[in-house]
Structure 1
């Protein structure tokens, strides 16, 4: 076997492992899936092949994250280049949301990345992998700076609360849509792009909503019956 053939075979094996791991992680959870199960799903008879190509479970998860982060970042960079001269909140939010939706659309069906990413963001240890990947993206840093600069003035606690809400929507809205598609259930929107448009509407509404003050949150529910 030539060096080129060995390299091509190794690349194909790595891709098969990544495909299998992403699917199994999305469907069962990262810690519920063994390297042996991944190797079998990838069509590999050697149970040590996952460790040989990727090292630890963390290394494999990092490879999966990076696999999707690169194309999403390219789409994000393209959106930033076409922003209007004076972008508003909706322009910045769209540039944040749409690249992931476009990437999922381009992957075709079925996809597993949205559910896989949602699992990472809810695990304290694995979440750091997603955070580190985000910190290496100049486009994402520029986007968030632009968005923060044009948001309405909000009290610090309210801004932090709304950032948490938006982060949850960004991660779990697409994961729920992906799960529904995988299970054959109807979805509110016909395409990933349409789903992104609805998510942009919701996030813009969250950031621009008025701030309620007073003691309304402590009212006795019986007063409203």
Structure 2
């Protein structure tokens, strides 16, 4: 009975992830998800997740848990003098590895992109992120790069989030329909380089002076 329940729950997660990715979160009803998952009980989402927010939380938690172990491994491998690129690689590589591990067609990147466009879903995502936490060795992304104010750094991180997830959603859609011949390893290398460059970009002060930031060794 437990195995059947786990399978039913997983089917609902997969169905919701795909439908949300393709149609948008607000456009998909619980009933449609249940029917798409092949479940007979129309109250299955309430039973397994307590409602739509609980379902979103479960999909996001699944995604985060799939990345966490690999991220910790990469952090453990950092040398004594890691660069900004090293830290960005630790933060983003697990994302691309998860995308690469999914069966095709996949919907994860497009789902995450949809989450970012719905205020209620954003709040659920923030809650999941707060509960999960960011590894201490990656804290520089949130305010500790020498030469960049926290406000500028947070602004860059905001832009990077849109750049990375938006690009990944576009690439995933094209991979699904066969119009993109690359792979996630290639996409990841490109975006990690781009993100590192943006974080390390010079800062122009109001007086026109240009300063070049550096990540502190921690």
Three-state SS of the structure 1 residue aligned to 2:71 is: helix
Between Structure 1 and Structure 2, the one with more helix by share is 1
| CA displacement at 1:150 relative to structure 2 | 6.5
Equivalent residue, structure 2, for 1:198: 190
State which of 172, 176, 179 in structure 2 corresponds to 1:182.
Answer: 176
Indicate the structure (1 or 2) with the bigger Cα radius of gyration.
1
State which of 111, 128, 132 in structure 1 corresponds to 2:127.
Answer: 132
2:147 maps to 1:153: yes
Equivalent residue, structure 2, for 1:118: 113
Deviation string, structure 1 residues 16-61 (Cα, Å, up to 9, x no partner): 1111111111110111111221111111223222222222110111
| CA displacement at 1:71 relative to structure 2 | 1.3
Q: 8 Å contact 1:135–1:141 — kept in the other structure? A: no
Deviation string, structure 1 residues 92-151 (Cα, Å, up to 9, x no partner): 00011100100111123221111111111222221122222222334x241431445763
C-alpha change, 1:53 and 1:185, in structure 2 (3 Å) is: same
For the residues of structure 1 that align with 2:120 and 2:68, how far apart are their CA atoms? 23
C-alpha change, 1:211 and 1:25, in structure 2 (3 Å) is: same
Aligned residues: 208
C-alpha change, 1:213 and 1:59, in structure 2 (3 Å) is: same
| CA displacement at 1:183 relative to structure 2 | 2.8
For the residues of structure 1 that align with 2:42 and 2:104, how far apart are their CA atoms? 28
2:184 maps to 1:162: no
Q: 8 Å contact 2:113–2:165 — kept in the other structure? A: yes
What is the TM-score normalised by the length of structure 1?
0.84
The 4+ residue runs of structure 1 with deviation greater than 6 A are none
Runs of 5+ consecutive residues of structure 1 not aligned to the other structure: 1-5, 217-225
State which of 164, 168, 173 in structure 1 corresponds to 2:167.
Answer: 173
C-alpha change, 1:194 and 1:143, in structure 2 (3 Å) is: farther
2:7 maps to 1:29: no
2:199 maps to 1:210: no
Runs of 5+ consecutive residues of structure 2 not aligned to the other structure: 209-218
What is the TM-score normalised by the length of structure 2?
0.86
| CA displacement at 1:158 relative to structure 2 | 3.1
| CA displacement at 1:171 relative to structure 2 | 2.2
| CA displacement at 1:152 relative to structure 2 | 4.2
2:95 maps to 1:103: no
For the residues of structure 2 that align with 1:164 and 1:147, how far apart are their CA atoms? 11
C-alpha change, 1:52 and 1:210, in structure 2 (3 Å) is: same
